[in-house]
């Protein structure tokens, strides 16, 4: 349900690559961060490409990066 909401442009989703790899490959979803890390338990923030610069998406990305970095 959350993945479909992100594809429809109604939100963002943190998801596992195995669940969204087809949507990534077909361009329905994009990874907003350039760098990826190998991790057994990793999460990704996904959103529609055209939403990349939307203020709520930018704010969420910045907040998540802040939280993840431990600053």
pLDDT in tens, 6-63: 899 888 887 777 888 899 999 999 887 766 656 666 667 778 889 889 999 999 889 8
CA distance 4 to 13: 9
- The model's pTM is 0.49
- The pLDDT value given to residue 16: 76
Would you state the structure tokens that stand for residue 45, as one six-digit string? 């923030």
Would you state the structure tokens that stand for residue 28, as one six-digit string? 């329905």
Residue with the larger pLDDT of the pair 67 and 60: 60
- The pLDDT value given to residue 38: 61
Instruction: Indicate the burial class of 30 (C-beta count within 10 angstroms; 0-12, 13-18, 19 or more).
Output: middle
């Amino acid at each position: 349900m959350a993945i479909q909401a992100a594809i429809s442009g109604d939100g963002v989703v943190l998801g596992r690559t195995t669940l969204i790899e087809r949507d990534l490959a077909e361009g329905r979803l994009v990874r907003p961060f350039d760098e990826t890390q190998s991790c057994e338990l990793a999460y990704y923030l996904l959103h529609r490409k055209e939403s990349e610069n939307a203020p709520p998406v930018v704010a969420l990305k910045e907040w998540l990066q802040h939280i993840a970095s431990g600053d």
